[in-house]
Structure 1
Amino acid sequence: MNSSVSAAFADIYNQHWKTLLAIAYHHCRDKAMAEEIVQEVFVSLWNNRKKRHIGNIEAYLATAVRLSVFKQYLRQKRRTAIIEQTAAPLISSHDEEKIFTRLLQQQINGIVETLPAQCRLVFRLSRTEGLSIPEIAQQLGIAGKTAEAHLTKALKVLKLKLDRSCLWALLFFFLY
């Protein structure tokens, strides 16, 4: 390689890199990105030194930096769009599960409201408060078998009144 070409390139680099860095930073407001863009512009200039005949080096380099900032924005926008596209189904799926769970809970609550008072109370103490059959029996002053019978009745009514049989499996999963 010709040393005069290397020396000329070094002169161009030393004379213009600060200005180009300022231009890049002005457009992207990120020092690391600005430095990377200026570096890319000089690498491209070096790699294409035999192909390009540049009349005004200052205007060429300033335009190259502005275009590189624009390209960087487009790359970032594409990355963000890809991330959003891949994350959206997960978010959507999670939201659907939350909605389905809420609807199922509302349906269960509606069915529980139709139960006789003692049966409803035993069910809520078991499922909402997490009490065992002996604890429920002691708290309500009833026999353990009576508490168990009320809970069994509540679960049978829920099973019969739920719209679809698959909901019974989900109910079993949520409640046990």
Structure 2
Amino acid sequence: MQTEVLRSCSDEVLLEMIRLEGNHLAFTTLYDRYWNKLLAIAYNLLRDKSSAKEIVQEVFISLWNRRTNIEVRNAGSYLATAVKFSVFKQIERERRYRHIELADVGDLQLAAVDDRIEDLFIKEYLAGLLEALPEKCALVINYSRIRDWSNAQIAEELNIAEKTVEGHLTKGLKLIRANLKASGMLSLLTASATWHLFR
């Protein structure tokens, strides 16, 4: 397919071509379509053009490397979220590394720091999703998934029936998953230890 034709294709079509065919031209078209927008996002957060370029490049490389098993419905939202996620990790990593004597830290300890940074980001992101839920729904999710309370304990605490707890839980988790899928975060979170709480 010629480049001109690909330029007129929707993101969804390009993503399918990338996922199913490993189509390099489709990938390049998506790259060209979003590069400047993503660079602007990264630069606004980092104020360092070189680092911003590196992060955007890594996001696209990751997309290509994971093309066969990644589910992305909205390319723009997914890529923007992935860039913000990467920026956050870099900022947090640098902050934490300043408090560590790197000469005395092995690769395994550095990996543990990276895992902790990622976990922190995910918890903060999910906390933001909880705040957007209806109040009772958010409370039930918080008690169930964060505090690990049973449905009976939640029902007693909130003075509601266990069936009502189950209803809030089902509704809340459904909304969270839908939000994660729409934003593209679902693909970023599935490997996380925190994510199992919201399955």
- Shorter-chain TM-score category? 0.3 to 0.5
Higher relative contact order (CA 8 A, sep 6+): 2
Q: TM-score, normalised by structure 2?
A: 0.41
Q: Which structure: larger Rg?
A: 1
